[in-house]
């Protein structure tokens, strides 16, 4: 008996992954728009370290680890991770690789989809 074979190219997988990410992003946007007050309170509860708000302000645009370490005068990557970890775990910051394969940090879709007025109130 001949087994059916299935061939999938990496480009097909990449396209599928992009589609899944876009759908998830749309769902997150809908959820945050529907529940602005709940999401805003959730965000406030997760800005727990003294550098959380300043880091969030910087990460409006993608920033590299090196930039954030230098900007805030951290002695090493572990010090930065102490502040980034709660933000990543709460889905307020996302890690991504830019076109040059540098690891960057930027606002998550959940955080970015809050109204500008709410973002200003939260970040000061």
- Which is nearest to 59 in space by CA: 93, 96, 29? 93
The pLDDT of residue 79:
95
Point out which residues pair with 96 in neighbouring strands: 104
Q: Are 99 and 61 in contact (CB under 8 A)?
A: no
Task: Provide CATH code, domain 10-123.
Answer: 1.10.10.10
The pLDDT of residue 46:
92
The pLDDT of residue 118:
92
The pLDDT of residue 92:
93
d(CA 86, CA 32): 19
Q: Are 77 and 111 in contact (CB under 8 A)?
A: no
User: pLDDT under 70 in the chain at which residues?
Assistant: 1-8, 29, 32-33
**46 Cβ contact partners less than 8 Å away, ≥ 6 residues apart:** 52, 86, 87, 90, 92
């Amino acid at each position: 008996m001949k087994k059916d074979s299935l061939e999938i190219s990496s480009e097909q997988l990449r396209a599928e992954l992009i589609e899944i990410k876009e759908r998830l992003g749309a769902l997150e946007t809908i959820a945050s728009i529907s529940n602005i007050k709940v999401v805003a309170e959730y965000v406030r509860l997760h800005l727990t370290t003294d550098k959380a708000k300043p880091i969030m302000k910087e990460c409006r645009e993608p920033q590299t680890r090196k930039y954030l370490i230098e900007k805030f005068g951290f002695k090493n990557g572990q010090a930065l991770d102490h502040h980034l970890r709660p933000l990543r775990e709460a889905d307020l910051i996302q890690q991504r690789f830019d076109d040059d394969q540098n690891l960057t940090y930027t606002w998550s879709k959940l955080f970015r989809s809050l109204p500008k007025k709410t973002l200003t109130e939260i970040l000061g």
